[in-house]
Homo-oligomer: A and B are copies of this chain.
């Protein structure tokens, strides 16, 4: 019998947000009546110019991608002001997170994460046989990170800012102060999946990958096209770092890891910033409706620098599980944070008419 790697015994799978297909299958609701606000997608979709580009290029699906991904890297290079050699493209930022783990971790190495954070850091690190340690608070506590780092000498430390699934964000000053005090031997992964939202709301919460990685060669910054660019289905992300760091991480990259249509879509999306601006405006205005709702009903929420809001469900002995299941039966997909050990719901800020329906449904739950 084939003997599997011992590490497989400790692995759990990622619990993904529920897809529309599942609600259709389980509750017999028509796809067009489902409101999907559980996965922090851009509810307005991608730019219509991107859709057009894909329609025009659909006949190219038989050709392998240009494995240099030069066009995509050149556009990212323009956006961030870093040389293309400092950019590592991936099949979602997920894949570049995986490269980071596999490039430095050996079994038994320590990895340090926030108590509540994106679940894949732990999964990828466990696949490498690493030991996971975490801080104790919901928002990132950088002093706690420093204390633990001194003790554990982690090979990797993950910061997620703005934080998923909580929504809070670190300030530039705090992050720079932290990096100056941390050992340069630790690879610091800064996951900026939601950075564009933070930059819009408060420039002090905005981190520049160029500045970060110029000053700190031990920082690996990651970004994605799944959020603000509205391309979650197409699986495109990237990592930015010092040239030497990227050269090393590149060795873990399999060829052709991004589909050609995905690379076309991301390249076109970068050329259409007006769609991003439109969405960022809408997101802030619609977020306010959820804050007002929580305020009126005296619900606790976390101030969000992203495209979602985390509401605690503790009023009237309610559980997040009950609320999410009740809304799911009405065709509304939200994210229950029970699996993160929080009695809270994470709601992606939707289009105005979607938020109407969600707020109406939530009114009944919190009546």
Proximity string of chain A (57-75) to chain B, C-beta cutoff 8 Å, 1 when within and 0 when not: 0111111111110110000
* Contact indicator A104/B4 (Cβ below 8 Å): yes
Q: In the complex where A19-B67, A256-B94 touch, is A61 in contact with B1 (Cβ < 8 A)?
A: no
Interface size for A (C-beta < 8 A) is: 84
- Identify the closest chain B residue to A12 (Cβ): B251
Residues of B close to A217: CB separation below 8 A: 1-2
The answer to whether B5 and A104 touch across the interface, beta carbons within 8 angstroms, is yes
Does A14 make an interface contact (CB < 8 A)?
A: yes
Q: Is the CB of B2 within 8 A of A63?
A: no
| Nearest chain B CB to A332 CB, angstrom units | 15
Whether A143 is near chain B, meaning CB under 8 Å from some CB there, is no
Task: Say if the beta carbon of A98 comes within 8 Å of chain B.
Answer: yes
Q: Which residues of B contact A55 (CB under 8 A)?
A: 54-55, 58
Please determine whether A46 and B70 come into contact, CB atoms closer than 8 angstroms. Answer: no
The answer for the CA separation of A334 and B228 in the assembled complex, in Å, is 40
Given contacts A2-B218, A105-B5, contact A261 B233 (CB under 8 A): yes
Question: A230 within 8 Å of B by Cβ?
Answer: yes
Alpha-carbon separation in the docked complex, A1 to B234 (Å) = 35
A147 CB to nearest chain B CB (Å): 21
Residue from A19, A226, A265 having most chain B Cβ neighbours under 10 A: A19
Residues of chain A touching chain B, judged by Cβ–Cβ distance below 8 Å, are 1-5, 8, 11, 13-14, 16-17, 19-22, 36, 39, 41-46, 50-51, 54-55, 58-68, 70-71, 91-92, 94-95, 98, 102-106, 120, 123-124, 127, 155, 184-187, 217-218, 226, 230-235, 245, 248, 250-262, 265
Q: List 14 A-B contacts (CB under 8 A).
A: A1-B185, A2-B245, A5-B105, A8-B103, A8-B252, A13-B250, A21-B68, A21-B71, A54-B55, A54-B58, A61-B231, A120-B254, A234-B260, A261-B261
What 9 A-B pairs are tightest by C-beta distance, nearest first?
A233-B260, A19-B66, A62-B230, A45-B62, A14-B255, A16-B67, A64-B232, A21-B66, A11-B251
